[in-house]
A and B are shown apart, each in its own frame.
Chain A
Amino acid sequence: MNIVSLVLLAGLRDLSRNRWIVAYALCFLGIAEGLFWFGGTGPQVLLSLLNLVLLVLPLVALVFGTIHVYASREFVELLLAQPVPRRQLFAGLYLGLALPLAGAFVVGAGVPFVVHAHDGATLGGVAALLAAGVGLSLAFAAIATWIALRTDDRLKGVGIALGVWLASTVIYDGLVLGATAAFGDYPLERPLLALMLANPVDVARVLVLTQLDVSALMGYTGALFQHTFGTALGTGVAGATLVVWCVVPLALAGRRFLRRDF
């Protein structure tokens, strides 16, 4: 068995012993199931979950991720004392964080839709929501890893993580809205589309919107929106952007990990 899977397994064992990740999965399960329970139809549950995914997922991935990386520091130092390639150790460290996060979300949010398969949620909508959630988990886990490796001070690290969360979920959209109002006289659709790609939370939101709010998007600006993101190519571009948002912070974190003096 190679080092990646060993460290990954260690991480998984660590996290599964950690009640937080179980609680996290149960939380999604409870909310999704509860929404169906209280008379929500498939599309309504999807929309409610979308809000949760956009707010809670990045928050958990960032805060939990940084704390996890700080907590595994001693474990990492112990392993580094052995003849273990750093690259593999890093891969194991990241996957041991990201996979449980993404997995807990998929199980928690996905199972109720399987149970209530006949409640009108379209396959495309559910798939988009799950894909967006997994993408966000992986991307923000990578960002969290990077933050934790850059900052030695734990408090500062968690503070930065919270700042990143606030910026990507609320502040960024506020700036976009401000820009829209300020430059309202210009044709803004295409620049705005580019701006949406620059924030993983927006990419995830747009990915789900094209599957859910079809009727609003079929008119007005939505036409361009739908043309851009609703097609297979657009979905591909959005998906690829999420991948970029995983790969770039991960590469930065990995570089940091390789060069760092523990």
Chain B
Amino acid sequence: MTLPVALGPMLLSLMVVAPKPAADLTVGPGGHFATITAALAAAQPGDRVLVRAGTYREATLVVRTPRVTVQGEGWPVLDGQGAREVLVIAADDVTVRGLVATNTGVSNLEDRAGIRAKDVRNCVIEHNRLRDNLWGIYLQRSADCVVRDNDIEAHGERQTTSGNGIHLWYSPGARIERNHIRGHRDGIYFEFSQHGVTRDNVSERSQRYGLHFMFSDSCSYVHNTFRENTSGVAVMYSRGVVISGNRFERSWGSAAYGLLLKDISGGEISSNTFDRNSTGLFVEGSSRLEVRGNTFTQNGWAAKVLADADENRFTGNRFSGNAFDVTTNSRSANSTFDGNWWDAYAGYDLNKDGVGDTAFHPVRLFALVVEQHPAALLLLRSPLVAVLDAAERVLPVLTPETLVDHHPLMRPPR
């Protein structure tokens, strides 16, 4: 930037003298400062740093003053030139808005982020665009931050040279809302971050997971869309998780799951839609989950519930058009299915109470065969398989006899 610099210090001295009222420090063409670095250095608590349109190539910007707002006007581009982190928030109550942070470059030694909040409270990162950064937005030991309406995109080629879109590490109480994330390794990643709320985000085409969280208790994930992520969504080792009203779509591959739950206990999985995934819902080692009111359509395997998952309750879910509704890996089943709607149910309802009079066995014999001999999948939808399944349904010998829906619904719920 080579535009008016002379005026800057003069105005600045005026503003510094003036006591409390928050001031606007303008950076860029016609502004008080040529560089954002200079403006940040001059900012007092409560000031606004207004960054005008243009491209800024500066050393990593660090916001050290509390209650400062850094606001872009006309999408100024902050370029990391492939060599460094772009912006670091290192003070409480900072707001960053309207910036384009781009091009941190790839590093194997440091986790370079487009925007990082480090050891702070109450930061707000909103309406920014992040392009081709190793990590998009990184909250590091920062509590009660808000990340919303950001548009985050990366084109990393491999998992190993790519970071996460929104990454939380020891950052409790975060609100992640209405962000759109494409092409990062994991779209959104929570690690050791409790009581977060993730809502209305779209995370797609991630190289690994659309959403990934570990050791993050009491978080809720509501109305998000996870689409075409290489491995879907994986959530692990957490308690009291609420996953509600999300869409999990088109995760395709042998290790791809719409939603994978591993060691999750005491949570709620409700009103989600699982559409066209290789495996819709995969439950391993998880207990006391309420799985209710979800819709499973056109998945290869709608729900895989392994035998080490116990006391999970599936109620009021809709299963339609799946190649396999439910599979498991053992004859004993420790999860219950009750009052779901199955398109494969062929029973009757004499007393017209909307509940089928005969029980439904959702685990097909063929599903168990395929579980043991994957190659047998080639016989999918063969008349022979239909005959075997029908025989097994009448007289279960091999399929888990306890895995039964005693009250299958005659019509889809709602």
Given A177-B369, A177-B384: A215 in contact with B378 (beta carbons within 8 A): no
Interface of chain A: mostly helix, strand, loop or mixed? helix
- Taking the nearest CB of chain B, how far is it from the CB of A240, in angstroms? 19
Q: What is the CA–CA distance of A47 and B323 in the complex, to the nearest angstrom?
A: 10
Q: Is the CB of B382 within 8 A of A216?
A: no
- Taking the nearest CB of chain A, how far is it from the CB of B303, in angstroms? 14
Using Cβ atoms and an 8 Å threshold, which residues of chain B touch A196?
378
Q: Is the CB of A209 within 8 A of B383?
A: no
Q: Is the CB of B298 within 8 A of A188?
A: no
Q: What is the CA–CA distance of A177 and B383 in the complex, to the nearest angstrom?
A: 12
Chain A's closest residue to B378 (CB) is A192
Q: Is B277 an interface residue (CB 8 A)?
A: yes
Q: Is the CB of A51 within 8 A of B278?
A: no
Interface centre among A169, A171, A205, A219 (most CB of B within 10 A): A219
Given A173-B383, A173-B384, A215-B252: A220 in contact with B374 (beta carbons within 8 A): yes
- Chain B 221-256 interface 0/1 with A at a Cβ cutoff of 8 Å (1 = within): 000000000000000000000000000000011111
Using Cβ atoms and an 8 Å threshold, which residues of chain B touch A205?
381-382
Using Cβ atoms and an 8 Å threshold, which residues of chain A touch B253?
218-219, 223
Q: What is the CA–CA distance of A171 and B387 in the complex, to the nearest angstrom?
A: 11
- Chain B 324-339 interface 0/1 with A at a Cβ cutoff of 8 Å (1 = within): 1000000000000000
Given A43-B298, A202-B382: A184 in contact with B254 (beta carbons within 8 A): no
Q: Is the CB of A181 within 8 A of B323?
A: no
Given A213-B300, A215-B276: A169 in contact with B378 (beta carbons within 8 A): no
Q: Is A170 an interface residue (CB 8 A)?
A: yes
Q: Is the CB of A218 within 8 A of B374?
A: no
Q: What is the CA–CA distance of A206 and B279 in the complex, to the nearest angstrom?
A: 21
- Of the four ranges (under 10, 10 to 19, 20 to 34, 35 or more), the interface on chain B belongs to 35 or more
Q: Is B377 an interface residue (CB 8 A)?
A: yes
Q: Is A50 an interface residue (CB 8 A)?
A: yes
Of residues 159 through 213 on chain A, the ones whose CB sits less than 8 Å from some CB of chain B are 169-171, 173-174, 176-177, 180-181, 184, 188-189, 192-193, 196, 202, 205-206, 209, 213
Q: Is the CB of A184 within 8 A of B377?
A: no
Using Cβ atoms and an 8 Å threshold, which residues of chain B touch A30?
none
Q: Is the CB of A50 within 8 A of B377?
A: no
Using Cβ atoms and an 8 Å threshold, which residues of chain A touch B252?
214-215, 218-219
Q: Is the CB of B384 within 8 A of A174?
A: yes
Using Cβ atoms and an 8 Å threshold, which residues of chain B touch A222?
254, 278, 300, 377
Q: Is the CB of B376 within 8 A of A216?
A: no
Q: Is the CB of A173 within 8 A of B374?
A: no
Of residues 273 through 298 on chain B, the ones whose CB sits less than 8 Å from some CB of chain A are 276-279, 298
Q: Is the CB of B386 within 8 A of A51?
A: yes
Q: Is A44 an interface residue (CB 8 A)?
A: yes
Given A181-B373, A219-B252, A219-B256: A213 in contact with B299 (beta carbons within 8 A): no
- Chain B 375-414 interface 0/1 with A at a Cβ cutoff of 8 Å (1 = within): 1111111111111000000000000000000000000000
Query: Which of B256, B320, B383 has a CB less than 8 Å from the CB of A54?
Result: B383
- Chain B 254-276 interface 0/1 with A at a Cβ cutoff of 8 Å (1 = within): 11100000000000000000001
By a beta-carbon cutoff of 8 Å, the part of chain A in contact with chain B is 41, 43-44, 47, 50-51, 54-55, 169-171, 173-174, 176-177, 180-181, 184, 188-189, 192-193, 196, 202, 205-206, 209, 213-223, 225
By a beta-carbon cutoff of 8 Å, the part of chain B in contact with chain A is 252-256, 276-279, 298-301, 320-321, 323-324, 343, 369-370, 372-387
Given A214-B276, A216-B324: 9 more A-B contacts, CB < 8 Å:
A51-B386, A170-B383, A170-B384, A173-B385, A177-B384, A180-B375, A222-B254, A223-B253, A223-B254
